[in-house]
């Protein structure tokens, strides 16, 4: 037979090991557990006694009574407190409305006083050439800081939340206009040459803030409602310059992806109110180029 052959030596069956007495010995823990279970089952009767049944029914009835009493107390307290809560809600709403009206009145009064002050200054400075030059400089500063109302041509950027579908489902956060969207619209208009900007009638100054609180957008710490109309006074080319900028490209992308409304229009005559936010009361002149980075 060619090749290598392999033979296996016959193996005799190995003797069986001696029985392990430890495995046949009952574990002490198992013995205690088995006896305990058996004793418990032996102690319990097949049918509960009449006394134990009455006790169970009594306990269940007491528990049901306690639960019913707690529910009754809670419902009665809610019913009794409902008129008080409603009255407090009505009073709070009335206080908010009254404070809003008072603030609007004070804002209009401040604007009238600013106009009177501007007219008085113009009359006082028109008597000399130096006064005329100073009046023109002051007017430029007032326009730049938002201290006075501004009028002129410009552009209007409008941002709207996405339209609600036919199923009437609520909009997701990404489908609503966010504070960052308004910020990008404002920054794009400033970069395009805007001289004055307002969002839903809120004039922006160097100390204005555009933030969000819950689902509301705050401008100058005033909550605004959509649509958000960003008005800017500036050169005739401002709308085209804004459309070709990065901020407009960002808003177009948001509009295409999430369905947010975004439009840009030219405006021939805009009137922006004076800034209602706190204006700087101190300033220091800087030399040309000092503020550049």
Q: Which tens digits make up the pLDDT trace of 276-287?
A: 765 556 667 777
Task: Identify the pLDDT of residue 17.
Answer: 47
Q: Residue with structure tokens 């404070």?
A: 99
Q: Provide the CA 57 distance to its chain's centre, in angstroms.
A: 54
Helix 179-191 and helix 246-258: axis angle, to 10°?
Answer: 150
Backbone conformation region of residue 194, classed left if phi is above 0, alpha if psi is from -120 to 50, else beta: beta
Q: Which one-letter DSSP state was computed for residue 221?
A: T
First vs last C-alpha separation in the chain: 98
Rounded CA-CA distance 80/183 in Å is 48
Residue 253: strand, helix, or coil: helix
Averaged pLDDT, 257-267: 94
Residue-wise pLDDT tens digits, 50-100:
556 667 777 777 777 777 777 776 766 666 666 777 777 888 888 888 888
Q: How much of the chain, in percent, has pLDDT values that exceed 70?
A: 72
Q: Of 276, 171, 266, which Cα lies nearest the Cα of 221?
A: 276
Looking at residue 293, what DSSP letter applies? -
Instruction: Lay out the sheet containing 210-213: strands in order across.
Output: 210-213, 216-219, 222-224
Q: Are 161 and 151 within 8 A, CB to CB? A: no
């Amino acid at each position: 037979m060619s090749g290598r052959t392999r033979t296996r030596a016959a193996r005799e069956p190995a003797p069986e090991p001696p029985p392990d007495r430890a495995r046949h010995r009952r574990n002490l823990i198992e013995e205690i557990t088995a006896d305990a279970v058996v004793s418990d089952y032996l102690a319990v009767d097949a049918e509960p006694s009449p006394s134990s049944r009455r006790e169970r029914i009594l306990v269940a009835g007491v528990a049901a009574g306690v639960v019913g009493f707690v529910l009754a107390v809670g419902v009665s307290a809610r019913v009794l407190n409902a008129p008080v809560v409603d009255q407090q809600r009505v009073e709070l709403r009335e206080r908010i409305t009254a404070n809003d009206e008072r603030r609007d009145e004070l804002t209009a009064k401040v604007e009238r006083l600013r106009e009177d002050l501007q007219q008085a200054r113009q009359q006082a400075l028109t008597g000399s050439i130096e006064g005329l030059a100073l009046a023109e400089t002051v007017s430029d500063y007032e326009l730049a800081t938002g201290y006075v109302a501004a009028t002129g041509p410009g552009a209007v950027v409008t941002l709207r939340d996405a339209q609600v579908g036919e199923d009437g489902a609520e909009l997701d956060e990404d489908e609503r206009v966010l504070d960052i969207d308004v910020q990008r619209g404002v920054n794009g208009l400033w970069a395009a040459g805007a001289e004055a900007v307002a969002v839903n009638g809120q004039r922006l100054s160097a100390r204005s803030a555009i933030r969000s609180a819950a689902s509301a957008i705050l401008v100058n710490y005033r909550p605004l409602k959509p649509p958000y109309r960003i008005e800017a006074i500036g050169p005739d080319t401002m709308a085209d310059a804004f459309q070709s900028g990065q901020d407009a490209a960002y808003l177009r992308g948001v509009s295409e992806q999430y369905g947010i409304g975004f439009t840009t229009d030219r405006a021939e005559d805009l009137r922006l109110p004076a800034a209602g936010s706190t204006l700087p009361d101190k300033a220091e002149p800087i030399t040309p180029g000092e503020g550049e980075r």
